[in-house]
Amino acid sequence: DIVMTQSPDSLAVSLGERATINCKSSQSVLYSSNNKNYLAWYQQKPGQPPKLLIYWASTRESGVPDRFSGSGSGTDFTLTIGSLQAEDVAVYYCQQYYSTPLTFGPGTKVDIK
C-alpha cells in the first residue's frame, strides 16, 4: 500500500498570508507512460463532505479559486494557498490514485492566526 504523510499537522496563518501544506508518498505516484502524477487535494470544512480542489497534482478543479495551487512530482507534493481567506479554514487532505487501495494523507488543519 502507498502510505501518504502530510506536514504540518496544523498551521495558523494570518489573513492574506501564504499557507503551505506538504504531502509525501511512500513510493512514486508518477506514471511514466503519461508523465502524470496521480495525486489529488481536497478541502473539508466542518460538517461537510470533502471538496476536490486539485488533481494530477497541479490541475485546479473548475470553480476553485486561483489562490489554490498544487506542485511537486514523484513522492513530494505541495498545496499552496496564496492569500489565505477566512473561508479557507478547513482540513486539507492529499490522496494518491496511482494504485489501490486508494489512500489519503492524515490531513492538515488550517486556521486563522
List contacts with another protein (CB under 8 A).
38, 40, 42, 44, 48-52, 55, 61, 93, 95, 97, 100-107
How many residues can be counted in the chain? 113
Residue number with CB closer to another protein (7 or 14): 7
Give the residue with the Cβ less far from another protein, 69 or 103. Answer: 103
Nearer to another protein, 43 or 75 (CB): 43
Cell of 54: 486539485
Write down the least CB distance from residue 101 to another protein, Å.
Answer: 5
- Reduced to 3 states (helix: H, G, I; strand: E, B; else coil), residue 86 is helix
Q: How far is the CB of 58 from another protein (least distance, A)?
A: 13
Q: Give residues with Cβ within 8 angstroms of 103, minimum separation 6.
A: 1, 2, 3, 4, 95, 96
Cell numbers for 17:
498570508
